[in-house]
Amino acid sequence: MTAWVRDLAGVDRAAHAGTLDPKVTGCLPVLLGDATRLAQVFLEGAKEYIAVLELHRSAPADTRAILDSFEAELYQKPPRKSAVRRRLRTRRVYDLELLDERDRQLLLRIRCESGTYVRKLCHDLGLALGTGGHMGNLRRSGTDPFDDRELVSLHDLADALAFDEEGNSEPLAAAVAPAERALRHLPRVTIPENAAREVAEGAPVYAPGVLAVDPAPDPVTVGEAGDETDDGEGAATPSEGDLVVCLTPDGTAVCLGTLVADPGASSGEVVSLERVLV
């Protein structure tokens, strides 16, 4: 998929934000050109899936309570066919919602940490329910900060590129988002232009160079035009260890970094550089 998009767009570099297994549909952000530098962002973000859990026997009466118990940090070992080493690891399930139940099928909405194996989760749910079970259909409905309301098909992209060649750039502008859109869910540190020039050369961000710190919008919702809105509730002030994006006052993304100290301090390093974006 990524190679097709790269060739359609006629660019040298492309990257994706998380593999979709065969027969799995849904949200697959593709990064083009310099935007490939943002791939790290998607390792930090959550993913959301709509899954069908096929039970081997009828569901018990306490199904919802058992599902709720899986909203936790879980131990998982990658499946045998996985491309990564099969080592026991932990992954967090943030939300596990039963959307519908029919016969021996449960329709689930799963919001989880990146790298969670939903197939393994479905197997473990079947064991906990006492029925046995396996994953049926699976759709990735979101990869922070994008969701499946923003999907663009390859046909639409090809059409947009054709229109662009004829002088109509509007469809392409609608199909391909600016790189900054991939950063909209991160806490923001605003720095002046002179500090941005130093960061572009590899310097960290020091406290005197911090103009403002804004929390990540929570929740992020996407309007019809793809603009984020924030109701102002639940937004948490970034803390040490959080991934942040540093911006100039005009909104240009300068770097990704890790917050290492109180940005309100009078001196010292506050953002350790992870990736220069300019």
Of 21, 34, 156, 231, which residue is the catalytic one?
A: 21
The whole-angstrom separation of Cα 19 and Cα 29 is 10
In Å, how far are 76, 143, 220, 252 from 189, measured between CA atoms? Answer: 35, 23, 18, 11
CA separation for the pair 93, 90 (Å, rounded) = 10
Question: Residue 244 is which amino acid?
Answer: V
For the chain, the residue count is 278
Please say if 21 is a catalytic residue.
Answer: yes
The DSSP letter of residue 12 is: S
CB 206 within 8 A of CB 268: yes
Report the alpha-carbon distance of residue 263 to residue 238 in Å, rounded.
10
Active site residues: 21
